[in-house]
Amino acid sequence: MFLRSSTRKKNGKVHTYWSIVENKRVGRGRVVQRHVLYLGEISTPQQEAWQESIEVFADGAPRAQTAGLWREPAAGEVVTAVDAQRGSVETVRIRASAMTLHRPRQWGACWLFCHLYQTLQLDEFFGQRLPASRKGTRWDLILQTLCGYRLLAPGSEWRLHRQWFERSALADLLGEDFSLVEIHKLYECHDRLLAHKAELFHHLQERWKDLFNARFEVLLYDLTSTYFESDPPESEKDKRQFGYSRDKRSDCVQVVIALVVTPEGFPLAYEVMAGKTSDKTTLRGFLEQIEKQYGKAERIWVMDRGIPTEEVLAEMRASQPPVQYLVGTPKGRLSKLEAQLAERPWQEVRQDIDVKLLPQEGELYVFAQSRSRISKERAMRQSKLRHLLKRLKELRAMKRLRRDELLIKLGEAKSKAGRAYHLVDIDVPAPREEVTPETFRFALNRAKLRVARRREGRYLLRSNMSGKDPAELWEFYIQLTQIEEAFKTIKGDLAIRPIYHQREDRVEAHIFIAFLAYCVQVTLSRRLRDLAPGLTARAVLEKFAAMQMLDVHLPTTDGRTVVLTRYTQPDDELRLLLARLKLELPTQSPPRIETPKDDPKNAEVVQTS
């Protein structure tokens, strides 16, 4: 290990940053550097102190010695090993009492990830499209590592390089070493991905059809955004721009992500758009993209209100064959049609679901209500309204409360109350006016409350599928929660942000890898639905993560070491899960005999059976 410095010029001043780095010998006789510890800017005495510590550590001179912890093996403690390559028998005496355990690393979840990755045949797909470089760099395995890292322990590429890879068993499972995650390779791999995005969509669709008989006639479409806690890019053409933030971070630049999934959660396609993109401008392009990639077919597009425009809906109706759609409507349209809907009777189409149908100008309006949704939304509204009124009474009772402080506290109450805040009429003191019960007043607006009660658990849908069962239309619309769950997974479990990349193309490649990890996770979720219902993909990955891999070292009497690389045996709960998922663990790897590193005569590793 040694100290290495890097310099950076900032505001006209040169800064020197220090790190502790070690050389690691990898395959083909190469040596790569691994960052052990980042020190930042340190003084000269601190550099000398660190150098002294490194030299002591590198020399291997321990500060204290411990001896006599283990007895010598008794006579007769012998292991016989068979040299399969030479066909001879070699007797190796081991000192079993001197056994040591080395390099504990996470194995179970890594193995399950690799199994799912191979089930989707992603190893073959990228093996053909990301060939090894002339120097032997396996870009397909680097991508597999990045995908597994995003699924199992998402973080920065720097953390993958410095910590996670050596604490996982991916190197053992992929048959590679630390050279696979050299930091510059992790970044360069991103530059090779986006060209294969369209082919990947088609490949995944075919695999899900083969594995689960997945259907792609009903498509759910929605958008989300992800922001960057960094300075805005200099180029105006960069997709990182200010816009409407669904994360309530309008102070940060962002990109918009459009996603199409099936009701089962299988993603069909996604697109990264500029941060200022309006939802209404995205649908036409996505319709053309899906039609170009998968051809014309009878598909049902399900969307929330605010995405399609009247012009695009007219184009969908006029298309040959017509593009079928089901979309929620804004509250304003419900207000316009409320009188006509009031004249129509409720029809019970399914237990707990009633509808009113209103044909109009080639479309069908479906006014649906779910009694369970009414009870749920009403309970949520009552709870928030009750807490809001309690907080307002507390504010009115406070002594020596200034107007500015009152406004801040009202803002906090508003954020917690949500829509219930608008059901209360609040009068605040005028500027420089004292806060008293006379100047700060509030009262429940019963007219707004009646309107809110009337619309709880009720939705107005519009569609050009007049022949469809209204109950089926309602089920289609409720399935929009699947795409919301997809966004929640990508932002939560897969931690798509923070995004550390500075280049726009690598930002998109980062989202590509997150999408790939989501595809692996949704495949596991779909398998669990059939074989182990009730379990989530994240819970199963955490169960498998309990399985570790260890190197068991057994010293021999002639100075060599028998090394057994072993994964720990699953407990009863995990064995049951393996049986339910119809999975079989691989056989343990064969032991090997290692000669001392400083012995030039015996520099080879001898495999034993």
Nearest-angstrom CA–CA distance, 541 and 30: 34
Phi and psi at 181, nearest 5°, equal: -115, 35
Same domain, 94 and 114: no
Do 539 and 558 lie in one domain? The reply is: no
Q: Of 409, 431, 465, which residue sits at a domain end? A: 465
Element spanning 75, H or E = none
- Cis-peptide into 321, omega within 30 deg: yes
Token pair 């996505």 is at which residue?
286
Measure the CA–CA gap between 469 and 326, rounded to whole angstroms: 13
Q: Give 484's pLDDT tier (boundaries 50, 70, 90).
A: confident
CA 446, chain centre distance (Å): 44
Is 406 domain-assigned? yes
Q: How sure is the predictor about 117, in pLDDT bands with cuts at 50, 70 and 90?
A: very high
List of residues 6+ apart from 526 with CB closer than 8 A = 208, 211, 212, 264, 265, 266
Using alpha carbons, list the distances in angstroms from residue 298 to 14, 208, 289, 365.
63, 19, 15, 21
pLDDT at 76 over 60: no
Last residue of a domain, one of 488, 518, 543: 543
Taking Cα atoms as reference points, which of 227, 202, 230 lies closest to residue 216? 202
> CA 251, CA 272: separation in Å to the nearest integer?
20
b/e per residue 316-337 (b: at least 16 CB within 10 A): beeeeeebbbbbbbeeeebeeb
Q: Are residues 383 and 452 in the same domain?
A: yes
Buried b or exposed e, range 225-251, using 16+ CB within 10 angstroms? bbbbeeeebeeeebbbbebebeeeeee
User: In terms of domains, do 338 and 408 share one?
Assistant: yes
- Number of domain units in the chain: 4
* Residues shown for the chain: 609
Residue ending a domain, among 543, 571, 587, is 543
Q: Are residues 83 and 136 in the same domain?
A: no
Residue 94 in contact with residue 554, Cβ under 8 Å? yes
Q: Are residues 120 and 146 in the same domain?
A: yes
Whether 386 has a pLDDT exceeding 90, the answer reads yes
> Does residue 145 share a domain with residue 32?
no
Whether the per-residue pLDDT at 197 is higher than 90: the answer is yes
What type of residue is 151? L
- Contact between residue 121 and residue 151 where contact means Cβ atoms under 8 Å apart: no
59 or 534, which is more confident: 534
3-state secondary structure 281-339: HCHHHHHHHHHHHHCCCCCEEEECCCCCCHHHHHHHHHCCCCCEEEEECCHHHHHHHHH
Q: Is residue 350 part of a domain?
A: yes
Tokens for 421?
Answer: 């805040």
* pLDDT value of residue 603: 40
Domain boundaries, position 372: 331-465
pLDDT at site 389: 94
Is residue 410 one of the residues assigned to a domain?
A: yes
- The single residue listed with the structure tokens 């309008």 is 250
Domain assignment present for residue 479? The answer is: no
Instruction: Identify the helix (H) or strand (E) that includes residue 151.
Output: helix 139-152
pLDDT in tens, 291-337: 888 877 778 899 988 889 889 988 888 888 788 999 988 877 788 88
Assigned domain for 311 exists: no
> Does position 57 have pLDDT exceeding 80, yes or no?
no
Asked whether the beta carbons of 551 and 101 are under 8 A apart, the reply is yes
Residues 132 and 179 in one domain: yes
Assigned domain for 205 exists: no
**Band of pLDDT at residue 63, cut at 50, 70 and 90:** very low
Query: Are 456 and 554 found together in one domain?
Result: no
Predicted local distance difference test score (pLDDT) of residue 550? 94
- The answer on pLDDT for 132 being more than 50 is yes
pLDDT bucket at 75, cuts 50 / 70 / 90 = very low
Residues 41 and 118 in one domain: no
- In tens, the pLDDT along 435-472 reads 888 899 999 999 999 988 888 888 888 998 877 888 78
pLDDT digit string, tens, across residues 529-587: 888 888 899 999 999 999 999 999 988 888 888 888 999 999 888 988 999 899 999 99
What integer is the mean pLDDT of 70-93? 43
**pLDDT of amino acid 79:** 38
Whether residue 30 is found in the same domain as residue 135 = no
Residue 375, domain member (yes or no): yes
Strands of the 2-10 sheet, one edge to the other:
2-10, 13-25, 31-40
Decide which of 56 and 287 is more confident. Answer: 287
pLDDT at 213: 92
Same domain, yes or no: 560 and 437: no
Residue 325 covered by a domain: no
Cα(136)–Cα(141) distance, rounded to whole angstroms? 11
pLDDT value at residue 605: 43
pLDDT of residue 54: 62
pLDDT tens readout for residues 25-54:
666 666 777 766 666 787 777 677 666 656
The whole-number pLDDT of residue 594 equals 79
